[in-house]
């Protein structure tokens, strides 16, 4: 952990503003130019609903792959985010769960809708890095690894129902309002960053799915506003959580692979829309996580269950733009 703290101290100066809302964080690749990571979403339940079991297998896979970092796709703390920077849920649901040596790497995290029900600024506060230096959470930002650029997008403010029909939930919109301006600036900044990117692989990460056959289904606001930008700028993967399952859906109109990793704790058994399975290559209604290995012209995505069993493999070839799934 001490070494991680030093490393974070060195890279913190690399948070450079790309434009209004996006900051860039540089992360080195391995000596051979490759990159590996694990992806987890919808996890923060103090170890319950098999969160601890998933964490244990993440540690095992992380060691095998010698991962460079972890991506969290949001809903980091249930049910209502963090109440403040001193909320014990941060340690009980994060630091004391993901204890494997291989997971003592930077955690690049976005906010989910449940996180917005708490104190958003607390989760974004760098003071949390004094408690656990792995924690790196911004609304939207870029992680540049040279071989791949990861564009983390704050998707919760896109969803109309959180504003129009919040039910009995209270959302922390400080820093987001006025909403139209916030979203307009975010989309503009993202489009500029994607156009300017020269990375071999362009990967976008958000909490909400663009495509899903799970409980929540497609996010129509993202299909209208975000997807055209992703397609126009040759994005290779869109990674998300929100639906408590594991999914792989291929786009029918572009090369984008839609990859859901939302099985970090509580899952929804049998919650699938069988009438909308166009492009669906894989769906698993249990807990688990995902790994991603990237080389210059090839990428491999693997889905695992709580026992570490491989459920589905996606092999991507940059030259052929083709997908082979087993």
216 is a catalytic site residue:
yes
- Is 113 annotated to bind a ligand? Reply is yes
- On whether 75 is known to bind a ligand per the annotation, the reply is yes
The DSSP secondary-structure symbol of 97 reads T
312 in a labelled binding site:
no
Cβ count within 10 A of residue 284: 20
Asked if residues 112 and 163 have their Cβ atoms less than 8 Å apart, the reply is no
Of the residues 216, 225, 248, 312, which is catalytic?
216
Q: Is 196 annotated in some ligand binding site?
A: no
Phi, psi for 300 (deg, rounded to 5): -135, 125
Q: Of 222, 224, 217, which is closest to residue 238 (Cα–Cα)? A: 222
Q: Does 215 belong to an annotated binding site? A: no
Quote the CA–CA distance of 122 and 134 in Å, as a whole number: 15
Residue showing tokens 């001490």: 2
| CB-based contacts of 87-90 (< 8 A; 24+ apart in sequence) | 87/118, 87/119, 87/122, 89/44, 89/46, 90/128, 90/131, 90/132, 90/135
Q: What's the angle, vertex CA 216, arms to CA 44 and CA 106, rounded to 5?
A: 35
27 is in an annotated binding site: no
Q: How far apart are CA 159 and CA 71, in angstroms?
A: 22
**Known binding-site residue numbers:** 42, 75, 78, 113, 207, 242, 244
Catalytic residues: 216
Annotated binding site for Fe cation: 42, 75, 78, 113, 207, 242, 244
């Amino acid at each position: 952990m001490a070494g991680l703290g030093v490393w974070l101290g060195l890279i913190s100066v690399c948070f450079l503003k790309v434009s209004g809302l996006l900051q860039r964080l540089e992360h080195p690749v391995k000596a051979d130019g490759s990159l590996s990571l694990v992806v987890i979403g919808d996890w923060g339940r103090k170890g319950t609903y098999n969160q601890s079991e998933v964490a244990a297998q993440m540690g095992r896979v992380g060691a095998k792959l010698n991962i460079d970092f972890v991506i969290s796709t949001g809903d980091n703390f249930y049910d209502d985010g963090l109440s403040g920077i001193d909320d014990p849920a941060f340690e009980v649901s994060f630091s004391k769960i993901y204890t494997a040596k291989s997971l003592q790497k930077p955690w690049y995290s976005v906010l989910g809708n449940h996180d917005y029900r708490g104190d958003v600024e607390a989760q974004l506060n760098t003071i949390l890095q004094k408690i656990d230096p792995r924690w790196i959470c911004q609304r939207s930002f870029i992680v540049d690894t040279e071989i791949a650029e990861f564009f983390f997008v704050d998707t919760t403010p896109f969803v109309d129902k959180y504003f129009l029909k919040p039910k009995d939930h209270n959302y922390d919109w400080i820093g987001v309002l006025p909403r139209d301006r916030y979203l307009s600036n975010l989309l503009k900044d993202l489009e500029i960053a994607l156009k300017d990117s020269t990375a071999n692989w362009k990967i976008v990460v958000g909490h909400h799915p663009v495509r899903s056959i799970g409980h929540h289904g497609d996010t129509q606001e993202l299909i209208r506003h975000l997807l055209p930008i992703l397609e126009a700028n040759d994005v290779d993967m869109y990674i998300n959580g929100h639906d408590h399952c594991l999914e792989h859906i291929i786009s029918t109109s572009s090369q984008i692979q839609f990859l859901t990793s939302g099985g970090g704790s509580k899952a929804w058994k049998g919650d699938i829309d069988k009438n909308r399975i166009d492009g669906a290559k894989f769906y698993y209604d249990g807990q688990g996580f995902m790994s991603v290995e990237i080389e210059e012209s090839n990428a491999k995505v693997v889905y695992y269950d709580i026992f570490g069993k491989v459920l589905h493999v996606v092999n991507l070839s940059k030259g052929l733009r083709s997908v082979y799934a087993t």
